[in-house]
Amino acid sequence: MTELNKLSKFVTVINEIKNKRYDFALKLLSKINTNSNDRYIENKLYGSIYFKKKEWLKSLTYFNKLLKTDEKDLVILNNTGVALFNLGRLNESLKFFQKISILEDKSVNAFVNLGIIYKNLGFYSKAIENFVKALEIENSNDSVKQNLIDIFNYYIPRKINHNLLEINREIINLNKNYKFESLIELDFIRNNLNKIKSLNLNYKETQIFRRNKINLNCDRHFKVFNKFKIIPKYCFNCYKIQIDMEDVINLIKLFFIFNNIKLENNNIRKCIVETRENVVGNYKGYIFCTGLDEAKKLLAVISSEINKSGLYIKEIKIKHGCTEYYKEYPEFENINYDSEQKFKYRKEWNEKENLIDNTIQIRKKIDEKIVGPTLNQISLPDILIIRNWIAYAKLINDKSSDEIFEQDVKSNYISDKITNQINLRNK
């Protein structure tokens, strides 16, 4: 029987998969009378449907059957690796992409996935090695470049050669001998920006972090909020100091303060340009705190540093949780500085949080994702983000950007993010 004849009885199922009607495709597939000659195609369709539905465990049941028939099927090997990765079984996933890289030595996809897994596991040297291999095959891939550059926040590569690694080394060498007072000089910024002037890369990031090893797990918390419109229990003890600036020069100066300040708990801190629709304020810095007492203590510390530096700010204040929560629960925003907060976590919310947690696979110790800490020195990702900040400033007619870099600075990423917000940002 030809392959075409074998497929004929599954045509309607295949069409439903193409139309993304996966549940209906499953229903049709279950009603088809199959025999041993159809088994491979049947398993492939079941595996594909469950894979597209992101039901990873079910998809693996069928991928394992398929690999017993053809252990070199690159598509099934890749999908198995992806499914295992999404289940948090990173070391198992690694083996499948290693096999693909051997079977197909020019597989950009395999090298990228190997890089991402090694990056998650904290094996930064191996991650860089695989990202560089991918770029040797496909040098125009901005996504791979971004993954590679992100590692420079945590690790200084020394032995591997690539132009991005060389630029990173030059930037580190340029700033490593500067004292704090020099770090807020405009010439220093210009020199670093000139290092990347010819780097044609649409870097998709607007926030510079300085992290410790604590994982705030914000993705999980927003899953809870977005699904059920409830505030996760964790967030009730989350406070942050927010600092608002008038212009991009002062944002960059605040970043230098955040880069150099020594905090007792090395609190997570970040500087951003605001890109969320309908959220006012353009230039912001945050320090994340565990509890209101720590926030009040650090407010005094950072206020003192700001005063000493001569930084001009619009406002500095303590905030509770995230802005996104305030529309749904306005009372959550109000902070009682002297006693208990009036708005409290509701017990019935715990059950809904558990529903989300039950969908998140618990990782084994060897598969745990490595988080931070970031290096407290200025590197290529920082300068690329500052370039995005300046592009943002020029788009919203912030003239202070001309003092830093008179030349036109453009970013397709920034333009796409705020094109519909220009009026709000100008105000």
Helical pair 248-260 and 292-309, crossing angle rounded to 10 deg: 110
pLDDT at 176: 72
pLDDT the model gives residue 2: 52
| Per-residue confidence (pLDDT) for residue 179, from 0 to 100 | 60
| C-alpha distances in Å from residue 323, one per residue of 71, 170, 326 | 50, 38, 6
Residue 410's pLDDT is what?
A: 87
CA dist., res. 270 & res. 209, Å (int): 4
> CA torsion sign, 203 to 398 to 244 to 230?
negative
CB neighbour class for 123 (10 Å; exposed up to 12, middle 13-18, buried from 19) = middle
Q: What is the pLDDT of residue 190?
A: 85
Q: Compute CA distances 148 → 28, 145, 272, 295, 311, whole Å.
A: 44, 5, 21, 34, 33
SS3 call for 284: strand
Label the pairing between strands 315-320 and 207-210.
unpaired
Backbone angles phi, psi at 188, to 5 degrees: -60, -45
Question: In sequence order, what DSSP letters do the residues of 102-123 get, joined into one string?
Answer: HH-TT-HHHHHHHHHHHHHHT-
The H or E element that residue 244 is part of is strand 238-245
Mean pLDDT by 10 residues, the chain (427 residues): 65 94 95 88 96 96 96 97 96 97 94 97 96 95 96 90 92 74 69 87 96 91 96 96 96 92 95 94 97 97 92 95 94 94 95 91 84 89 96 94 86 93 88
Strands (E), 246-294: 269-273, 283-290
pLDDT at 94: 97
**pLDDT for res 343:** 95
